[in-house]
Amino acid sequence: MSRLAARFESERRRDAFLRLIGVKPVIMGILNVTPDSFSDGGCFQALDAALGQAHKLVAGGADIIDVGAESTRPGHTAVPPDEEWRRLEPLLAPLLTEVATPFSIDTTKAEIARRALSLGVSVVNDVWGLQKDAAMADVVAEAGAAVVIMHNRDSVDPDLDIEADIRRFFDRSLILADRAGIPRTRILLDPGVGFAKTRAQNLKALALTGALRSAFGLPILIGASRKRLFGDLTPSSIDDLLIGTLAANLVTLARGAAVFRVHDPAEHAAAFKVFKAIECAG
């Protein structure tokens, strides 16, 4: 595919993703091509496995697939750009060719984002909200991509007013986005559940969904899938973590969340269908 054709296809898929926001709960399926992610590390690094999982996610109801090659779990080992791209390069072009769903790239590195966007990826999911790599906002703007701005911190501070910190962080990120020329219509906010927060702060971040939606007027993405938070509250098998994830996502859906980054799209699609039926009956 030529660079021009890739840009056109990227924008088409970007717009298809953005048009769904507010129409239905949007499901972002997780495709980790890492050796060390906390729940599925090492499972999808080979092309056949990655393609199979991508098709499974779409069949389960994923509206967009988020591909990441560097784990961001607590205690993760940072990956240099060359290694991150080595993991991604053999997979992205075939994924984009064989799977018609929009794709996002889960990275904090502007160079990785630039390469992925040039192949036809439509969204950058930056767990440092444009604040880690000074070039990231410009890369997103130049590619015409959408972006997920996630709240993050270098360390946990139990005494922190997490609501005030999240608001300050988003204010800074949105200034960077404005300076680069990223339209607000292409920005989503993620309160960063599981990132440098205590259990109480994580629960508060989830509870803030409606307040953040009202304060910033932007769609809220919730990325709480299988987080350790739920293992602290309930027994910690994968099934227990799924139950906790579903509960959290239904609560935040009721509070106005728009997009849900999950490992289990089929289960979420079913839960959202029940939620909608009850809401419509009311």
Catalytic positions are 227, 261
Dist. CA 92–CA 107, nearest whole Å: 14
Dist. CA 262–CA 170, nearest whole Å: 23
Q: What is the DSSP string of 95-144?
A: HHHH--S-EEEE-S-HHHHHHHHHHT--EEEETTTT-SSTTHHHHHHHHT
Dist. CA 40–CA 136, nearest whole Å: 27
Cα angle, residue 247 at apex, residues 69 and 205 outer, rounded to 5°: 65
Q: Is 190 helix (H, G, I), strand (E, B) or coil?
A: strand
Cross-sheet strand order for the sheet of 259-262: 187-190, 146-150, 123-126, 103-106, 64-68, 26-32, 259-262, 221-222
Dist. CA 231–CA 240, nearest whole Å: 7
Dist. CA 174–CA 163, nearest whole Å: 17
| Residue 170 half-sphere exposure toward CB, CA atoms < 13 A | 25
Dist. CA 36–CA 72, nearest whole Å: 9
Provide the CA 224 distance to its chain's centre, in angstroms: 10
